[in-house]
Homo-oligomer: A and B are copies of this chain.
Amino acid sequence: MTQTIAFVGLGAMGSAMAETLVKKQMRVVGFDMRKEAVAQLEAAGGNGAASAAEAAKAADILALMVVNADQAEAVLFAGGALEALKPGATVILMSTCAPGRVEAIAARVEKSGRHIVDAPVSGGVTGAKGGTLTIMASGTKEVFEGVKPMLSAMSSNLFYLGDKPGQGAAMKTVNQLMCGVHIAVAAEALAFAEQAGIDPKLALEILSGSAAQSWMLKARGPRMVADDGIVTSAVDIFVKDLGIVLDAGRSMKMGLPLAASAHQLFLSASGGGHGGKDDSQVVETYRALRKK
């Protein structure tokens, strides 16, 4: 029997993920605050709903790809989506949230007689469009198995972290720690090269082929050398995500000096007016700081 998936949060990531599910012949009912995002999903062959609760009503799975834990709670609780969901159905929380927030949401969902899988993703819009995301899931094994076909449809790397919701979120914070620092250090290195009088394009070519290479250097480096204005993910997303990393570190009483420095750099870029630009533009912080 085909599962019906309510998909709430059709931003850059969410719309690409929902459309990938549609392409793979899954029945998707989507909702977003922006009507044009719902219309776009309908044009791609999905179904639209007028509210999150309406989308949830007939669904076996309610996937949430909203901005943060606050929005997830607003949709589930105040917005009535959890109550609209039939008992025994499963909520999949895919946004990047602090592990503690996921645990709290999970407790309320389970108390209501619905199930929950914590399943944040990595891989950006490219991974979402291609169905090649990395997914870091946790939750009761049985519930996880029930949503595995849907998760597999979006992912080339599906990992099961354990039976407690929050473990997926913890792994995602570890992932974001590395991604954020990798973007910031690419900016530090390329700004340093520029200051040293090295052609930044040549520096990027050399670094991309040496032991200095990273996935983020290849993805974001070209846009640090010459900004094409494309935004794959904004500076403010890393202000948020590294904030979550540091909150998690604080709750574990663990110092994370590199993540803390990188957070300051994204924060300064946002303060400098670049918050909505591509996260590669953290390089503007270095340009602002250096000798003129």
Q: Hey, which bits of chain A sit against chain B, CB under 8 A?
A: 99, 122-124, 127, 134, 136, 157, 159, 161, 167, 170-171, 173-175, 177-179, 181-182, 184-186, 188-193, 195-198, 202-203, 205-207, 209-217, 219, 248-249, 252-259, 261-262, 264-265, 289-291
Contact = CB atoms under 8 A, between A and B. Distances in A.
Contacts of A261: 257-258, 261
A7 to B, nearest CB: 22
B134 A210 contact: yes
Leading 6 A-B pairs by shortest Cβ distance: A178-B212, A214-B214, A134-B210, A170-B196, A122-B210, A181-B185
Given A178-B186, A211-B216, A211-B219, A206 B134 contact: yes
Copies in the complex: 2
Main secondary structure of the interface of A (DSSP, over half): helix
B214 A182 contact: yes
B181 A248 contact: no
A122 B212 contact: yes
Contacts of A252: 195-196, 291
